[in-house]
Amino acid sequence: MEEISLGRIQCRSKEIFLLMANDGCESIGGRCDMKQVAVVIRDLDQQYEGLRVSVGALLYSVKVCMVVLNHEIETMDEAFRDNMAFFEDMGGERISNHMANAEKYGFQHATIKEIGRKLKTVDLIIPF
């Protein structure tokens, strides 16, 4: 089994746990040289926050994969749709194991096993 270290940061009085895989994160002077990030959204109440973090990471020239697990996008309003379109235009990858997300919103459908293999290839996993 591959070893994964767990880091913790504070963000707006909330704790966010960062899983660092493959020793891909080298912190030098407060900067992190990552190439690939996965934002995993399991909590319905965190969909906007997960998308916001995904878009923000793309602005730092990081390859981002947004993964929505076990549920359909709850509220596909205009703001969410616009941000998701921007995310896709900037080269973001969207994956879900829920078929409705693939059929309605253009996510790539993947099984849990396929998502697990994908997550092993990234430098940082940010769970929501």
Closest CA to 39 of 93, 110, 83, 98: 93
In a domain, 1, yes or no: no
Residue-number span of the structural domain to which 67 is assigned: 7-25+32-127
Q: Could you tell me whether strands 93-96 and 108-109 are parallel, antiparallel, or unpaired per DSSP bridges? A: parallel
d(CA 31, CA 82): 29
- Write the CATH number for 101: 3.40.1260.10
Type of residue numbered 11:
C
Split into its structural domains, the chain has a count of 1
Q: How much is the pTM?
A: 0.74
In a domain, 2, yes or no: no
Please choose, from the candidates 5, 29, 15, 9, the residue with its C-alpha nearest in 3D space to the C-alpha of residue 123.
5
Per-residue pLDDT tens digits for 84-123: 999 999 999 999 999 999 999 999 999 999 999 999 999 9
Q: Does the pLDDT at position 32 exceed 60? A: no
Indicate whether 110 belongs to any domain: yes
**Residue 110: both structure tokens together:** 């993947």
User: What pLDDT score was predicted for residue 9?
Assistant: 39
More confident residue, 95 or 74: 95
The 10 Å Cβ neighbour count of residue 54 is 27
| pLDDT score of 29 more than 80 | no
